Amino acid sequence: MIEKRMVLPDRIQLVCSPDYNVIRGDQDYFKNGYNKAKEKNWIVTRPRNRKGEQRPTINIPEDLYIRDYPYITHITVNLKKPYSVGMEFNFIRFLKRYCRDSNPLFFNSNYDEKIRIHEDNYIDNKIIQIDNSGIYDMLIKDVSFLARTISEQFVKELFGVVAFDYEYCSIKQIEFNIDHNVGSDQSLDIFDKLIVFLLSDNGYFWRQKDLQEVALKLITPRKEDFKDLNPLEINEKLRSHYLFFEICKGMKFKIYRKTTDHIRDEIIFESNYIKRNYPTQQFDKIYETLYEKAKQFINKTKFNEILQELNLTPSYTKRCQDRMTNTYGLIGKLKDGSGLQEVYDAVYFGDPVITQEGFDALNNNPDLKRGFVRRLSSSGQKIYLYSPDEAYKIREEKEQEKKILNKIDDRKNCLME
């Protein structure tokens, strides 16, 4: 039985600002803030807005606030009116910290370290029962207040005493998700089955009927992320594959392995989606509406039912750990060039390499090519299939054949002498 927890918000990109009309002394604030940032060696960037205007922005060093606010990252202060402050608020980490501080018995650090793949922003129902506990309802009310308090703290640090308060907290982007506990060390196997399921007729029907997605991408780990890393080791920096479905402009659905025991599905509302569909982005006015929308969509996907079915499906002949190890190892072996994606798909999905670009990629990577066998398609076209066991067997047979031929040649030479 696959367990799931309630829908929770995760990363929330927030922008806090005061009442635009009450601000006076623009140039003084700008000058004071800029000088203070330079004095402290804080980074000042100059991104451009849609009109092409430069907006000097201060990136607050993370080590100044990570101890007090470990659930906050990427604090930035705009040096131009209305001096908005941006930040990323990780609600699940905020929730987890509260539960751990309230009752240390709720948190099992040994279990956390054992199963973690990504960051620690996950809640396991086996450790903390969030549903119907009232904890979520209490803490979600603190998000806007905390964001505005933090904004005022750093603005006063830059500008000194200011004659305005941070009254508004707006959502720029927000994520909601569910973690599904699929069993001890089972997330790799289930995710592997999920990818194969999506390529089947039933998977296509699910994508069209329940997700109604307009695009699907399998995002593979980047080559530079896996230097000196074992893909099956537990490592906080390890990034696994994830599936990215575009539902509509500014609304995305994402699936990936969160831990060795959990698979996460996530709905993301971006700024352009919120602006297009709702009259405001203010947190206190729009959050509940977005939360209900997320719950409705996640329930409509019936993703937990998909996982239940996959859990009952036998593992494929080609073990998923071998498949994942091969594909992760491939990242480190491949040299730059065209045809790499085709070769990658051949290793992971078992697709044939059929293009000249793919052949060139194999020829440029001889160690990798040793795992492929050459075949002819039904139309007589040359193809390569990834089958390391068969390739090894063919090499052994050729080696034995070569030894036999050498013995025959030796006997001929002896007779001639």
Confidence at 238, pLDDT banded by 50, 70, 90: very low
Q: Which residues, listed in sequence order, are joined to residue 180 by a DSSP beta bridge?
A: 4, 263
DSSP H stretches of helix in 103-170: 109-115, 135-140, 142-159
Compute the distance between CA of residue 165 and CA of residue 155 in angstroms, rounded to an integer: 10
90 and 142 co-located in one domain = yes
381 and 260 co-located in one domain = no
**Burial class, 168, CB count within 10 angstroms (exposed 0-12 / middle 13-18 / buried 19+):** buried
Position 412 pLDDT exceeds 90: no
Please name which of 325, 327, 316 lies closest in space to residue 199, comparing C-alpha atoms: 316
Q: Domain total for the chain?
A: 2
247 and 354 co-located in one domain = no
| Range of weakest confidence among 240-244, 264-268, 362-366, 371-375 | 240-244
Q: Among the three residues 312, 344, 375, which one is the final residue of a domain in this structure?
A: 312
92 and 36 co-located in one domain = yes
Q: Among the three residues 312, 346, 370, which one is the final residue of a domain in this structure?
A: 312
Structure tokens at 313: 């499906």
Residue 202, in any domain of the structure: yes
Compute the distance between CA of residue 82 and CA of residue 409 in angstroms, rounded to an integer: 89
Position 33 pLDDT exceeds 90: no
Which residue is associated with the tokens 């490592």? 235
Q: Which of the listed ranges 37-46, 125-134, 308-317 does the model predict with the highest average pLDDT?
A: 37-46
Residue 411, in any domain of the structure: no
345 and 299 co-located in one domain = no
Q: Among the three residues 312, 344, 359, which one is the final residue of a domain in this structure?
A: 312
Q: Between 178 and 316, name the one with better pLDDT.
A: 178
346 and 278 co-located in one domain = no
233 and 367 co-located in one domain = no
Position 94 pLDDT exceeds 60: yes
DSSP state of 54: B
SS3 assignment, position 151: helix
Residue 404, in any domain of the structure: no
What Cα–Cα distance (Å) separates residue 156 from each residue in 24, 37, 186, 360? 15, 12, 49, 60
The boundaries of the domain holding residue 229 are 3-312
Q: What is the pTM of this model?
A: 0.77
